[in-house]
């Protein structure tokens, strides 16, 4: 049987360094210049298994007159002599930044925004109407948010990229709203339903709730990896055991996330419900002028996003 290697099998610095020649080839093939990016999805959150994709975001620039690359490009790369199938996600860097600027300038009636939606907005967020994430209007902002709030990212040697100015392009209240709205939607639409529940969706909801709690109780950047959130925030042994039951079920499974189901746990559901009730009022009253830059200033440097330089220009 062929061994399937994933990003989880290698240290981060090795992954990023190994990607240099492949990024250089993609630059030539699609007439782009790589600026920066991230390892995305379940691999970043600690919610992957052997069937999970190896998502690698490339935020790029491109001169006029060339056809942009498609959103996704799947290629086998080599890391330490081992084959890894990577799903490259291409996003125009200019569009990414513009999405952040647009979100930053928006004035919302109130927070959490899920309670201030119009009838048409409520309709669009019903489970049967939700689009694939890359087709949603907030997709680019979501990518920007996960990038600046990530535990790590990469940047090309030639780009001279500095993440710090980008921390000022998202309000902390919008980051809080990002976690609350998703946790609330998952709880209302899926956790309380009688239908079987995707294990990954359950863990996503737990992750969203813990990330929300971290910012509101500690005032610093939350770690992205779910195990760090669990170990730091969950003090109840029964709740921790319940969460780890589903965490282990997900990570040790050789089943694709769309086919892995469970029934929800009352201990976890009560925790999520109580948290959302408690933090709803805190979001409503949170300082709307604070930005992620302020959050990062309160975060110890070693706990902020760590950048890894990729020497793309040295590729052969």
**pTM of the predicted structure, to 2 decimals:** 0.93
The pLDDT value given to residue 139: 93
- Beta strand 33-39 with 197-198 is unpaired
Q: How far is CA 73 from the centre of its chain?
A: 19
pLDDT for 166: 98
Q: How far is CA 134 from CA 38, 58, 186, 195, in A?
A: 16, 15, 18, 26
3-state secondary structure the chain: CCCCECHHHCCHHHHHHHCHHHHHHHHHHHCCEEEEEEECCHHHHCCCCCCCCCEEEEEEECCCCCCCCCCEEEEEEEECCEEEEEEEEEEEHHHHHHHHHHHHHCCCCCCCHHHHCCHHHHHHCCHHHCCCHHHCCCHHHHHHHHHHCCCEEEEECCCCCCCHHHHHHCEHHHHHHHHHHHHHHHHHHHHCCCCCEEHHHHHHHHHHHHHHHHHHHHCCCCCCCHHHHHHHHCCCHHHHHHHHHHHHHHHCCCCCHHHCEECCCHHHHHHHHHHHHHHHHHHHCCCCCCEHHHHHHCCCHHHCCEEEEECHHHCC
Residue 2: other Cβ atoms inside 10 A: 5
If one counts every other C-beta atom within 10 angstroms of the C-beta of residue 291, the result is: 19
* pLDDT tens-digit readout, 85-114: 999 999 999 999 999 999 999 999 999 999
Q: Tell me what pLDDT residue 132 has.
A: 65
> How far apart (Å, rounded) are the C-alpha atoms in residues 118 and 123?
9
pLDDT confidence of residue 314: 43
Q: What is the CA radius of gyration of the chain?
A: 20
Q: Of 198, 211, 121, nearest to 172 (Cα)? A: 211
Low-confidence stretches of the chain (pLDDT < 50) are: 314-316
Q: What is the pLDDT of residue 316?
A: 38
């Amino acid at each position: 049987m062929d061994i399937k290697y994933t990003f989880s099998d290698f240290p981060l610095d090795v992954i990023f360094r190994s990607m240099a020649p492949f990024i250089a080839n993609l630059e030539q093939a699609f007439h782009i210049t790589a600026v920066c990016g991230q390892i995305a999805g379940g691999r970043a959150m600690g919610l992957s298994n052997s069937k999970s994709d190896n998502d690698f975001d490339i935020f790029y620039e491109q001169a006029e007159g060339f056809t942009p690359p498609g959103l996704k490009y799947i290629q086998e790369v080599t890391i330490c002599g081992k084959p890894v199938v990577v799903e490259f996600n291409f996003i125009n860097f200019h569009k990414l930044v513009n999405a952040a600027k647009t979100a930053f300038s928006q004035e919302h009636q109130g927070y959490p925004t899920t309670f201030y939606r119009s009838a048409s907005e409520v309709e669009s967020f019903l489970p049967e109407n939700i689009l694939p994430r890359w087709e949603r209007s907030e997709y680019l902002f979501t990518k920007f948010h996960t990038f600046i709030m990530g535990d790590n990212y990469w940047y090309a040697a030639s780009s001279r990229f500095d993440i710090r100015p980008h921390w000022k392009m998202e309000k902390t209240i919008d980051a809080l709203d990002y976690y609350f709205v998703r946790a609330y939607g998952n709880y209302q639409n899926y956790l309380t339903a009688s239908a079987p529940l995707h294990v990954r969706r359950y863990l996503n909801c737990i992750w969203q709730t813990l990330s929300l709690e971290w910012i509101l109780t500690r005032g610093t950047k939350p770690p992205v990896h779910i195990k760090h959130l669990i170990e730091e925030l969950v003090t109840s042994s029964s709740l921790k055991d319940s969460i780890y039951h589903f965490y282990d079920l997900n990570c040790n499974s050789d089943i694709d996330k769309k086919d892995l189901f469970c029934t929800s746990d009352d201990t976890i559901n009560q925790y999520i419900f109580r948290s959302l009730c408690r933090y709803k009022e805190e979001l409503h009253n949170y300082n709307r002028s604070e930005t992620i830059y302020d959050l990062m200033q309160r975060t110890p440097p070693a706990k902020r996003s760590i950048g890894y330089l990729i020497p793309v220009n040295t590729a052969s």
